[in-house]
Amino acid sequence: MSIQWFPGHMHLTRKAIGERVKEIDVVVEMLDARLPGSSANPMLQDLSHGKPTLKVLNKQDMADPAMTERWLAYYNAREKTRAIALDAGMSAPAKAISEACRALVPGRGGMFKPVRVLICGIPNVGKSTLINTLMGKRAAKTGDEAGITRNEQRIVLADDFYLYDTPGVLWPRIIVPESGFNLAASGAVGRNAYDDQEVALELLARLKKHYPQLLIERYKLDLPSQEVAETPDEDLLEAAGRQRGALGAGGKVNWQKTAELVIGDFRAMHTGRITLETPEEFDVWLAAGQKADAERAERKKALRDSKGKGRGPQAQRRPRKKP
């Protein structure tokens, strides 16, 4: 299954970002620290026209701390890029963001050359919550539903520091299947874009590989870590359903309810602090996705060419309307 979700308002947001970025100095991209590669927007590199970029790994308190350090190093190794980690409990996120942005554009600052920053990110990444924290009041709508924010707003964080907020935006087509599942598990896509049971099974496959002990503790599995890692995903889902009491008639597991519980446990951090991907894994996924996408484009082109060659010059012209 390929997960896709690109509502109409995201097309408008994409255009707005493209226009706004011409006037700004730094692009701040908020990422989900639990999936830092999958939550990075591949369109942003083209839209930002090479502007300095600050990667903010938000929700670090929900992610694996060791993995967050690896992802920070991964992004900080890039040219014209800085990366920091934040969470809802930080007392001075505005200072951290301001200092990182100013370091990227040391020639900007002061009343006559204010630092102009555009902040963007995928839906449900916590951007609106951060904006409210920066403002010290409820300036932006928040919620656990993807796509809450719909309009751009300007926020003055200092006399010489302007922050432009944009609605959360995904990209028109997700070419990395693993990213689609990770985005769905995190709540970044709408419920109508994925099947809960498929996402739960993929999530369990990730957890049994990297966090088998957390599965044992959460679902009271009477198995050693090695056996958990080798257990079929469907068996793990059934065990989770029985432990959580998601049963129907005759004591059978209610698969839909169980899937919702497993996804909910991850989102609420009941399973533990988890990061769904490593930098190395994501690079492999991305390379495979780009290759498959290029092959898909070649097949489409070949199909168009073959259809064109199969029709004569007269057949390719539109018939003239009768007067």
What is the tens place of the pLDDT at every residue in 171-202?
567 889 999 999 999 998 888 888 999 999 99
The reply to whether 317 falls in a domain is no
User: Which residue, 225, 250, 267, sits at the end of a domain?
Assistant: 267
How many domains is the chain partitioned into structurally? 2
94 and 129 belong to one structural domain: yes
97 and 30 belong to one structural domain: yes
The reply to whether 312 falls in a domain is no
The yes-or-no verdict on residue 144 having pLDDT over 50 is no
Residue-wise pLDDT tens digits, 9-65: 455 566 666 667 778 899 999 999 999 999 998 877 777 778 999 999 999 999 999
The reply to whether 316 falls in a domain is no
User: Which residue, 241, 267, 293, sits at the end of a domain?
Assistant: 267
- The distance from CA 284 to its chain's CA centroid, rounded to whole angstroms, is 17
Residue-wise pLDDT tens digits, 54-64: 999 999 999 99
User: Which residue, 165, 187, 210, sits at the end of a domain?
Assistant: 165
14 and 135 belong to one structural domain: yes
- The distance from CA 152 to its chain's CA centroid, rounded to whole angstroms, is 20
108 and 234 belong to one structural domain: no
- Given a contact cutoff of 8 angstroms between Cβ atoms, the answer to whether 183 and 121 are in contact is no
The reply to whether 172 falls in a domain is no
Which 3 state secondary structure label does DSSP give 254? coil
Note the pLDDT of residue 130.
83
Task: Output the six-digit token pair for 309.
Answer: 């060659």
87 and 220 belong to one structural domain: no
216 and 188 belong to one structural domain: yes
Q: Can you give the CATH number for the domain in which 196 is found? A: 1.10.1580.10
- Given a contact cutoff of 8 angstroms between Cβ atoms, the answer to whether 203 and 263 are in contact is yes
* Closest to 157 (Cα-Cα) out of 175, 133, 173: 133
The yes-or-no verdict on residue 91 having pLDDT over 80 is no
The yes-or-no verdict on residue 300 having pLDDT over 50 is yes
Which 3 state secondary structure label does DSSP give 158? strand
44 and 130 belong to one structural domain: yes
CA distances from 291 to 35, 127, 297, 298, 303 (A): 22, 32, 10, 11, 18
- Given a contact cutoff of 8 angstroms between Cβ atoms, the answer to whether 157 and 163 are in contact is yes
- The distance from CA 164 to its chain's CA centroid, rounded to whole angstroms, is 20
Q: Do the bridges between strand 153-158 and strand 115-121 make them parallel or antiparallel, or are there none, so unpaired?
A: unpaired
The reply to whether 73 falls in a domain is yes
Note the pLDDT of residue 20.
73
Q: Can you give the CATH number for the domain in which 27 is found? A: 3.40.50.300
pTM for this predicted structure? 0.83
Amino acid at 50: G
147 and 219 belong to one structural domain: no
Mean pLDDT over all residues of the chain? Answer: 84
φ, ψ dihedrals at 115, nearest 5°: -80, 120
The reply to whether 281 falls in a domain is no
150 and 86 belong to one structural domain: yes
100 and 134 belong to one structural domain: yes
112 and 190 belong to one structural domain: no
The angle at the Cα of 96, spanning 90 to 100, to the nearest 5 degrees, equals 155
The boundaries of the domain holding residue 257 are 177-267
The reply to whether 260 falls in a domain is yes
Residue-wise pLDDT tens digits, 110-121: 888 999 998 888
159 and 21 belong to one structural domain: yes
The reply to whether 313 falls in a domain is no
Task: Output the six-digit token pair for 135.
Answer: 């403002």
